[in-house]
Structure 1
Amino acid sequence: MKVARARRLDMLRHIGAGMASAEALAEQLGISLSTVRRDLAVLAREGALLRTYGGAALPGPVQPEQPLTERLGERNAQKNAIAALAADHVLDGQTVILDAGSTVGALANRLRDRKDLRVVTSGLTSLQALSGLDRIDLVSLGGTLRPISLGFTGPLAEQAMRRITADSAFLGADGVVAGRGLCEASAEQTSLKELMTAQAETIYVLATSDKLGKAASRAWAPLDRPWTLVTDADASEAQLEPFRRLGTVTILIASGA
C-alpha cells in the first residue's frame, strides 16, 4: 500500500514543523484518524519517519557528534535556567546520579553548596565541579572515558552503577523523542543511561528545547516508566504536546536563570 504523493508531502511537512500527534495531523490534513495511522505505518516501514506514541517524528540525517568542549559555549542561558530548576529537586542528604553532558554539568555547579549529598556521576565536568568539597560524597563510575563527550562508559562503569541505588537520576541526551526515549551517538552511552534509570527512584531528563523531537543519532535508551522532562521556555507547544500525550511525563519549564 502506498501513500498518495501530495498527502505524503503534507504529512512530512507538518511533522517537520513539530505537529507530531496523529490527531493533530488528521485535523490539519482534513482526513480521518484511521487514515493518518495507516499512512504513518506505511511511511515508518519505508523509513521516512519514526513512529512515536500517538504520532511520529522525522528521523533526520545522522549528524556528527559535537564535542562537549563546543557545546559548553552554546545555549548557556537555557542550560543554566534548566539547571537552576532541576537543582530545586535535589535535597540535602540524598543520593543522586548525574549523567555526562553540558546541561547536567551546569546542574553540578548548582549543587556545590549542598550538605551531606552523595553524587554518583559518569561526567568529567561534574567531577571537576564537585571535587574537593567536604560536604559532598563524590563517586565516579569510572570506565572508559570518551574524549568527545568527556563521559565514562563501558562495562566497568556499568558494573559500578549496578551496585548503587539513588533517589534520583538526572540525564542528558543528544535528542529526546516522545514514546521512543533518549538518543545518543553510541550504544555504550545509551546502555549506561538505561542502567541509571533502573537504579534511580525518580528520573529527570534535562534537555534544551532544540533537543525535543530530535532524532539525529541511532542509539536509543527507552524511557518506559514515569519521568520528568526539564526544558527551557523556548519549547513550543507543538514540541511538548507529544510528551503530554504520553501520560507518564511531568513537564517542567525553566523560565529564567
Structure 2
Amino acid sequence: MQRSLRRKTIIRAIPETGEIRVDALVRLTGASPITIRRDLTELAEAGVLRRTHGGAARPSKRGIPMPFAMRSDEHQASKRLLAAAAAELIGDDESLIIDNGTTCQAVALALAGRPVTAIALSLHAAAALASIPGASVVVPGGAIENDTLAFSGAQALRAVRDVRVDVAILGACSAAIEEGLTSTNYDDAQVKAACLGAARRSVLVATADKLSRTSTFRFGSAADLTHLVTTSAASDEVIAAFRGAGVQVVVVDDAG
C-alpha cells in the first residue's frame, strides 16, 4: 500500500472513542509492525493522532488536521474539476483572495496565466498562480505554517482586512450547513472570516465530504457565501439547504 494511502487508512481506522491496536492496523494495511509504529510516531508528531501503549487514539481536540501532503494526494481528479469550475466564476482583470489548502491550490493552478490580481494566502497558491506569466500575485508576508506554507497570524489578518476584492476563493476543513463554515485552527478561522468581509463575492470550493463535517472554530455561515462549488457526491438535501440560504451552487460531475 502506498505510504500516503496507508496513513490515511490509519487515520480513518481510529474509532471515535477508544483506540486501535498496532496488530489491527497491520492486518488492515498489510504493512509490518515496524512500519506501522513509525507511521504512528510521525502522525502523532503532526498532531493527527495520539499514541497509546500498543496503538493509537484520536487527538484530544475536535477535527483531525491531516498533513498537507496527504490531503494533496486525496481527491485529485475531483479537485481539478472543482478548480476549473471555480476559475470560470472569475473574470479577467478581477481581483481576488485565494485561501490556503489543497483545493485552493488547485484553483490557483487553474488560474495560472490569467490576467487577475491575486492575494495568495499560502506559498503553495502563490507559486501555482505565478507558474505561468499573466497574473499579478501578492502575498501578505509574516509567519508561515511549516506544513501548509499558509500565512498566519496578525500580519496576514491585517493584510486581508486592508483590501477589498471582487472574489474570495475559500476552502474549509468542514462546512456542515447546520454548524457553519469551520476550521480546525483558530488563526486560520480568523483569516477566513476576514476574507468573507473583504470580498464582494465569496466562493467556497469543497468536496462533498466536507459538507457533512464540522470542526471547532467557526468563521462563517452558508449565508455569508455567494457561491458553493462542490461535487456530485453531495446529497440533494445538502445542495437544497445551501440554495435555500441564498447560495448559488455549482455541481461538478466527478462520477467518472
8 A Cα contact 1:66 1:148, kept in partner:
no
Q: TM-score, normalised by structure 1?
A: 0.71
Taking a change above 3 Å as real, the CA distance of residues 222 and 109 of structure 1, as seen in their structure-2 partners, is same
Q: Which has the higher contact order (CA 8 A, sep 6+)?
A: 1
Aligned twin of 1:139: 138
| TM-score normalised by structure 2 residue count | 0.71
Contact 1:96 1:118 in 2 (8 A): yes
Offset from partner CA, 1:122-176 (integer Å, 9 cap, x none): 1221111123644211000223212233211110001111221110000001100
Amino acid at match of 1:158: L
The equivalences for 1:219-234 within 5 A come to: 219-223=217-221, 224-234=223-233
**Map of 1:119 onto structure 2:** 118
1:1-257 to structure 2, matched below 5 A, reads: 62-115=62-115, 117-131=116-130, 133-215=132-214, 217-223=215-221, 224-246=223-245, 248-256=246-254
Q: Contact 1:180–1:222 (CA<8 Å) still a contact in 2?
A: no
Identity among equivalent positions (%) equals 27
Q: In 2, are the aligned partners of 1:177 and 1:214 still within 8 Å (CA)?
A: yes
Kept in 1, the 8 Å contact 2:62–2:184? The answer is no
* Farther off after superposition, 127-136 or 173-182: 127-136
Segments of 5+ residues of structure 2 without an aligned counterpart are 1-60
* Number of matched pairs: 194
Q: Distance in 1 between matches of 2:178 and 2:248?
A: 14
Match of 2:83, SS state, is helix
C-alpha distance in 1 between matches for 2:103 and 2:213: 16
Q: Is the 8 A contact 2:189 2:219 kept in 1?
A: yes
List per-residue Cα deviations over 1:2-44 (Å, max 9, x = no partner).
xxxxxxxxxxxxxxxxxxxxxxxxxxxxxxxxxxxxxxxxxxx
